[in-house]
Amino acid sequence: MRYEKPATAKEAAGLLAKEKGAAFLLGGGTDLLVKLKMGMVEPDLVVDVKHIAKANEIQTTAKGFSIGAAVPSARLTEHKALQKAWPGVVEAANLIGSDQIQGRCTLAGNLCNASPAADSVPAMIAAGAKAVIVGAKKRRTVPVEKVATGPGQTCLGSDELIESITLPKPGPRTGDAYLRFIPRTEMDIAVVGVAVCVTLERGRVKTARVALGAVAPTAILVPAAARALVGTSLDDEALEKLARACSAACNPIDDKRGTVEYRTRLAGVLAKRAAKIAFARAGGKS
């Protein structure tokens, strides 16, 4: 196994393009090193993205935030402006593993590992995050909901890597929230995860985005659930409609964490709770 630490994303993409064997990207390594230990992967080349300057930064721009692919979750928590703008994204990233894992795991890694239950992914989707993807020949920007194509599968080509994740600047009276259900209080994988982002106008929801995790092969955006909220101030009827739309969008598996029926029902229950938190964070009064 060769280990490379390129200084730019372009150089990293060049290394990936040239490699004839099995090449893997290393961000925080919290998934890759486990797979390495288990013998699930046998890399010929590992490209460490942590020496790419841009991948290590959280930049605040006029358009919003750019979070480098190598920035660990622990640094998101310490970033006051990001925390204030997108509390739901930060709380979702904070749910990934222990403090030890937080010191290493990244948003881009959580996205590229493409687990259907990845906690940060629904929150990024609800917030309208985009992935800046660098390839050997071109750069492209892809909405986060389009990156994972199935469990463990992404839309990235063999010569591509995520350099950063962008989050827009939230409009006035915008709030987001993420809730997941696990049978323990810490250190577990989501049975269901729900992220909600709402923007209010005169006390009512003007626009909304609702995303679900762990109930389909990838995290999903649920437009019908968002429509249930628009124009309302989160009355009981709107919340019931939201719950029904979320449950209807579920296509989960049965496993030791939950049955199909349980996950489907739970998605609706959690959506109502997450919507109330997002609404309150946006300054809404119900």
Partner 1 sequence: MSNATLVSTVVNGDAVQFACPSDESLMTALRDRVGLTGVKEGCGTGDCGACSVTLDGQLVCSCLVLGVEAEGRNVETVEGLAQDGQLHPLQEQFIEHAALQCGICTPGFLVAAKALLERNPNPNETEIRYALAGNLCRCTGYDKIVRAVQAAAKDMRKAKRR
- Give contact residues for partner 1 (rule: CB under 8 A): 1-3, 26, 28-30, 33-34, 36-38, 43, 46, 48, 50, 72, 74, 97-101, 103-104, 186-187
For the bound state, the minimum distance from the C-beta of residue 186 to partner 1, rounded and expressed in Å, comes to 4
Nearer to partner 1, 97 or 193 (CB): 97
For the bound state, the minimum distance from the C-beta of residue 274 to partner 1, rounded and expressed in Å, comes to 21
CA-to-CA separations, 82 to 26, 120, 179, in angstroms, rounded: 25, 14, 18
Write the DSSP symbol of residue 152: T
Nearer to partner 1, 33 or 280 (CB): 33
Instruction: Report which residue type is found at 234.
Output: L
Write the DSSP symbol of residue 22: -
Nearer to partner 1, 96 or 144 (CB): 96
Crossing angle between the packed helical segments 260-281 and 236-249, to the nearest 10 degrees: 140
Largest CA distance in the chain: 59
For the bound state, the minimum distance from the C-beta of residue 9 to partner 1, rounded and expressed in Å, comes to 19
Cβ atoms of 207 and 198 closer than 8 Å: yes
Nearer to partner 1, 36 or 224 (CB): 36
Residue 30 C-alpha from the chain's centroid? 16
Cβ atoms of 256 and 188 closer than 8 Å: no
Nearer to partner 1, 3 or 141 (CB): 3
For the bound state, the minimum distance from the C-beta of residue 53 to partner 1, rounded and expressed in Å, comes to 15
Dihedral angle computed from the Cα positions of residues 147, 54, 127 and 196, in that order, rounded to the nearest 10 degrees: 80
For the bound state, the minimum distance from the C-beta of residue 146 to partner 1, rounded and expressed in Å, comes to 29
List beta partners, residue 45.
2, 23
